[in-house]
Chains A and B, each alone.
Chain A
Amino acid sequence: MRAKNDQAPSIRKRLLALLLPSAVVILVAGTLGDYFTAIAPFREAYDQALIDTAIAVAGRVTVRNDGRPALSLPPDAAAILRADSIDSIYIKVSAADGALVYGDADLPELPESPANPSRANVAYRGEPIRLVSYRTVAGPSIVAVSVGETLHKRDRARAAVLTTAIAVDAAELGLVLAVIWLGVRLALAPLRNVAAQIHRRSARDLAPLPLGRVPVEIRGVVDALNRLFATVTRAGSEQRRFLESAAHQLRTPLTGIQAQLELMADDETDPSRKDQLGRVLDGARRLTHTTQQLLALARSDEAATLDWKLTPVDLASVVDPVVNERIAASDAAKIDLGAEVSPADARGVSWLLAEALGNLVDNAMTYTPAGGSITIRCGDDGAPFLQVTDTGPGIPPGDRARVLDRFYRGSNAQGDGSGLGLAIVHEVAQLHGATLSIDAGPDGRGTTVSLRFPVRHGGSAQAIAAR
């Protein structure tokens, strides 16, 4: 069941497959956007600090008497400008002709550009640095002030931003995924409720499903189901009316024919005519018997389709009439028909149970030779049961399952049974939720057919206490 469901298409899986990957892509893109947005102001601020330093240094450029630029920067001030606990700061001031005015001679200088100051990342002393070059006028010439800084602070800031962004966005992603999963689950809950409602129902319950809380998306399906239920119910009650009418139309003339033949055979004095009438009467009886069985089978089918009320029945009360009706026949067949009866409370339809038991006894009588015995047992050994044991030829184990089929007649079959008897018993057992089993009789001879009924709450506890 479960494995089958895994194969079947699932709305939930489809929704999750559509929603989850897109949510992941959107959130990852969001994280990247956050990162680049957050990193830009940092870079700007650090660049600005470098530019400020360059402008401050440029403010100290003077012009000597010979017209050459010079820098009047006291060593204390220079130390302040270069002070940084994390990064190394490099400063260089050069004249327009490239002559060094001040600072680190090997520090590169950015070429002139429309932007003043200009900035770029360059390599210096084996590591990447951020470099700012600022050009200013000193007397007749131009000086370039370059300030460089290693990237450690920037790297740290970027790492901090990245870590925060990833942490926050991962949490966000988790939340969004959880919300999607929960949302899909909650949105599909009404569907599951309807499915569970249908699953819980008895297979025989044909009442329409309530439409009140059914979501509009599957209302069509539930409507169709309800229409189907109504059709089945209607068909069932039509079948019931048909069967009632058929029962009357078939039984009444059969009764008349059979009774008239009985009387004619009784009155007939000519032996050959009497014999002839006897055979016709036999045929009429077989026809009657088969008709009875077909009607019983149809009625128990119908009872199984429509929700028949099972009422409390003491199985012992079913045995009495069944035995009483067959005493004369068992005497004639020289079969000892008896019973071992204890109270057994079950739930059922008592005339169907009598029909089933009658068929079991009739079957046993067909196959039990003269001098044999048939015993009906009923009782409660934890579960109520009805049982018929005979001393006939028995049913080979291979045939036991098939004898329950309609019209099947076993390899040991003899006589003129219609093959419907056990099928009726099988139907009645199903209707009552009883298990039907066919075994060899005690000592491995003959046949025992048992009907075990579901344990009744309360009733069975009593039976267990009684043991």
Chain B
Amino acid sequence: MRVLVVEDDPLVGDAVRRALAAAGFAADLVASAEAAASALHAESFDLAIVDIGLPRVSGLQFLQALRQRGTGLPVLILTARDGLEDRVHALDLGADDYLTKPFEIPELVARCRALIRRAHAVTSTRLALGSLNLDLAHREVTVDGALLDLTHREWTILECLVFNAGRIVSKERLKESVVNWSEDLTPNAIEVYVSRLRTKLGGAADIRAVRGMGYRIDAREK
């Protein structure tokens, strides 16, 4: 996985590059939009992390130019400004996600993984989370290569959770994802499926219940 980091602050840029390298990504750091454009021209990347406050050409202008050329490269925007306007503006221009400084390194890495995972789910038929591997075409899950035996509903719920890994998925949304399979499904039924899923996954991933909000799946820390 190659990640292009576009950040003019050497301290932040270096930290991001190191963190991604430690997480198993191949990260390249450039300090301006111009350098980023030529890097993208020369080589292919799976993700770009772009700071808004770049000198001369801003991160948002760079993003706009990128999308105008029709590039579907996932872009995570970094900014030191708060406020929703910037965020909405960035997402409108075609950013895939948005992170406000200061951020924690694990959060950044999790967002990068999620973005790459989603981009790959569109182009390929596989989703990965830690040691979990989902084959979307065959509706199969493997943990370290070993096949898990899941029912249709368990599979659908797991797919929905993994697709949104690191984010809370509400019970209603999980219910909607399996509603094709069942006429009447109580919220308790979701709890039952999730509890069965937890047992079947063993230690491969954590499914955490967030009281009143829903469930969230995270890769198990090494």
Contact = CB atoms under 8 A, between A and B. Distances in A.
Nearest to A338: B211
B208 interface: yes
B102 A247 contact: no
A341 interface: yes
B167 A299 contact: no
A254 B101 CA distance: 8
Contacts of B10: 256
A375 B212 CA distance: 9
Interface string B37-53: 00000000000000001
B207 interface: no
Candidate in B84, B102, B210 with the most chain A CB atoms within 10 angstroms: B102
Given A255-B101, A288-B102, A351 B83 contact: yes
B86 to A, nearest CB: 10
A324 B10 CA distance: 30
A305 interface: no
B124 to A, nearest CB: 27
A244 B81 contact: yes
Contacts of A355: 82
B164 to A, nearest CB: 10
A166 interface: no
Contacts of A339: 210-213
Contact of B15 (A260, A331, A349, A376): A260
A259 B80 contact: no
Candidate in B53, B101, B168, B212 with the most chain A CB atoms within 10 angstroms: B101
Contacts of B16: 259
Interface residues of B, number: 31
Contact of B11 (A248, A256, A341, A349): A256
B14 interface: yes
Contacts, number: 102
A338 B212 contact: yes
Interface in B75-107: 80-84, 87, 101-106
A325 to B, nearest CB: 8
A323 B53 contact: no
Contact of A266 (B14, B22, B101): B22
Contacts of B104: 258, 262
B18 interface: yes
A338 B101 contact: no
Given A244-B81, A327-B210, A338-B213, A252 B101 contact: yes
Interface in A234-263: 244, 247-248, 251-260, 262-263
B9 A252 contact: yes
Interface string B197-212: 0000000000010111
B105 to A, nearest CB: 5
A337 B80 contact: no
Candidate in A259, A336, A338, A339 with the most chain B CB atoms within 10 angstroms: A259
B216 interface: yes
Contacts of A253: 9, 11-12
Contact of A259 (B15, B53, B211): B15
A177 interface: no
Contact of A248 (B14, B53, B167, B210): B53
Contact of A323 (B11, B14, B101, B210): B210
A292 interface: yes
Nearest to A374: B211
B168 A263 contact: no
A381 interface: no
Contacts of A259: 12, 15-16, 19, 105
A259 B106 CA distance: 10
Candidate in B9, B53, B87, B212 with the most chain A CB atoms within 10 angstroms: B212
A320 interface: yes
A355 B12 CA distance: 24
Contacts of B101: 251-252, 254-255
Nearest to B16: A259
B9 A247 contact: no
A62 interface: no
Given A255-B12, A338-B210, A350 B216 contact: no
A301 to B, nearest CB: 14
A78 to B, nearest CB: 118
A296 interface: yes
B89 to A, nearest CB: 13
B213 A341 contact: yes
Interface in A280-295: 288, 292, 295
Candidate in A256, A323, A340, A355 with the most chain B CB atoms within 10 angstroms: A256
Contacts of A256: 9-12, 14-15
B212 A341 contact: yes
B9 A336 contact: no
Contact of B81 (A248, A260, A263, A327): A248
Nearest to B168: A324
A295 B14 CA distance: 25
Given A256-B9, A292-B102, A376-B212, 4 more contacts: A252-B9, A252-B12, A260-B14, A338-B211
Interface of A: 244, 247-248, 251-260, 262-263, 266-267, 288, 292, 295-296, 299, 319-320, 323-324, 327-328, 331, 336-341, 349-351, 355, 373, 375-376
- 7 closest residue pairs by CB, A with B: A338-B211, A256-B11, A259-B15, A339-B212, A256-B12, A255-B102, A251-B80
11 contacts: A255-B12, A255-B15, A255-B80, A259-B105, A263-B15, A267-B22, A288-B102, A327-B208, A337-B210, A338-B212, A349-B84
